[in-house]
Amino acid sequence: MSGERIGILGLGLIGGSLALALRGKRGAPEVWGYDRNRESLRMALSDRAIARACTEREIASCDIVVVCVPVLRSVEFLRRIGRRMRPGAVLTDTGSVKAAVVRAGQEAVRDGVEFVGGHPIAGTENSGYPAADASLFRGRTCILTPTDANTGASLRRVERLWKTAGARVLRMDPRLHDHVFAYVSHLPHAVAYALVHSVATLDSKVPLGYSAGGFRDFTRIASSNPEMWKDIVLQNRREVLGAVGHYRRNLSLLEGLIRRGDEAGLLAYFRKSKKTRDGL
């Protein structure tokens, strides 16, 4: 990877953190950055997270381009950048939904260029370059979602990039990824938003100043970027709706146990959940 040039398109939480994580690492590539937000570019340059602030056209000359913009935006970029990159180059992304992006990315690239889907499992409820953190990926997992269109060499180049940033790398089928993440990430975010929404729309005023651990812990992720989560649930709509339906059935089951005053049933329900959570 040393001697390669990496282009990071979108220097927000994820792109900015990747640039900071690569800064000064042994064997790290030269990093160029592009973002429509000039202030983010200025900050990234002054932090030496990027060696050069470039244009969208210039970033296509890099050996590996990592697209780190919100998921619905990323498809447009893959289409534009993918046909301008040089043979031998690799285009990759960090989007939280994979099947549709991988399809679009692999269709978008010209001959000799490969698209490799990626999703770092790291983040916070904050967004933008000011939230970027050099240690965000340390000890975390980055999932790559290869298909038959990928060669081992390109996968290894993207893998090396994430390992240099401190992550361990796993591979997963793109559709399996979207199914799994509908349950372990997209549903919890949707439910957190719904829970806060249900309190925010109460007729009676519940003073949230009383909210101790439970409400705060459970709803932290409802402070996540609404724009980003709108994109994610829409792009993974089918899987997310499946997960919401499954959750609704589990909530109804709980409702029935409470209504019937079924002590044994409630204990069994809560114990099963506790055991699963304790095992994390």
Q: Does 117 participate in binding ligand NAD (rule CB under 6 A)?
A: no
Q: Measured between alpha carbons, how far is 170 from 144 in angstroms, rounded to an integer?
A: 6
Using CB under 6 A as the binding criterion, the count of chain residues that bind ligand NAD stands at: 28
Closer to ligand NAD by Cβ: residue 154 or 236:
236
**10 binding ligand NAD? (CB under 6 A):** yes
CB distance 187 to 178 below 8 Å = no
CB of 16 to ligand NAD, least distance (A): 7
Q: Which is nearer to ligand NAD, 14 or 257 (CB)?
A: 14
- What are the phi and psi torsion angles at 109 (to 5°)? -75, 145
Residue closer to ligand NAD, measured from CB, 15 or 117 = 15
User: What distance in Å separates the CA atoms of residue 78 and residue 10, rounded to the nearest whole number?
Assistant: 13
State which H helix or E strand residue 81 sits in: helix 71-82
Among residues 13 and 60, whose Cβ is nearest to ligand NAD? Answer: 13
Which residues touch 198 (CB under 8 Å, ≥6 apart)?
A: none
Give the shortest CB-133-to-ligand NAD separation in angstroms: 11
Residue 64 is a binding residue for ligand NAD (CB under 6 A): no
- Residues paired with 127 in a beta bridge: none
Backbone angles phi and psi of 254, in degrees to 5: -65, -40
Rounded Cα distance between 263 and 107, Å, is 55
- Are the CB atoms for 67 and 81 separated by under 8 Å? yes
Considering only 84, 128, 141, 195, the residue that binds ligand NAD (CB under 6 A) is 128
Contact window for ligand NAD (CB under 6 A) among 47-55, 66-74, 171-179, 204-212: 66-74
Q: Please, which residues bridge with residue 30 across strands?
A: 5
Q: Which of 50, 54, 94, 240 is close enough to bind ligand NAD by CB under 6 A?
A: 94
Rule CB under 6 A: choose which of 41, 66, 71, 99 binds ligand NAD.
Answer: 71
Contact letters for ligand NAD, residues 201-230 (x by CB under 6 A): ------------------------x--x--
Among the listed residues 4, 53, 54, 10, the one whose alpha carbon sits nearest the alpha carbon of residue 30? 4
Residues contributing to the site for ligand NAD (CB under 6 A)? 10-15, 35-37, 40, 68-71, 73-74, 94-96, 119-120, 123, 127-129, 225, 228, 232
